[in-house]
Amino acid sequence: MLSQFFVKCEALERWGGRAFWLLQDELLEYIEESTNFSREKFHGAEGPGTFIVYTMEDAGEEYRLKHLETITGPTRPNPEDSSQAFMTDMVGAGYVPSLDALEEMLLIRPRAKAATNFRDFVW
């Protein structure tokens, strides 16, 4: 879904249009925590990608949407400026831990033997 949004951004820009993605602030925060994307890099940026960010406010019997910010930026790297951020940063991993760190986090107790298939895997 996300990759198709960026494709549509570029196609619509070529045709003189623009694509918008409306998203909740909670989703944007999750994207920033789990990928290399940072909204701060796009303040004042130009490009075909546009995110319109809303938050939900409790209004008693209902929730209301409140506009927080609009983020605009390029979807691909600029070959002339390698320091420029681009929106597809959000489709890559922001951090990949070492395999040792992953095993340390996942394993409750050490395995008695190396697992050769799923049935031999001991937690």
Q: Where are the domains of the chain?
A: 2-95
**pLDDT number for residue 121:** 47
CB 19 within 8 A of CB 12: yes
**pLDDT number for residue 92:** 65
**pLDDT number for residue 70:** 93
- H or E element that contains 52: strand 49-58
**pLDDT number for residue 113:** 57
CB 64 within 8 A of CB 90: no
**pLDDT number for residue 31:** 86
**pLDDT number for residue 13:** 87
As a dihedral over the C-alpha atoms of residue 10, residue 11, residue 14, residue 15, rounded to 10 degrees, the angle is -140
CB 62 within 8 A of CB 92: no
Which segments in the chain show pLDDT lower than 50?
Answer: 118, 121, 123
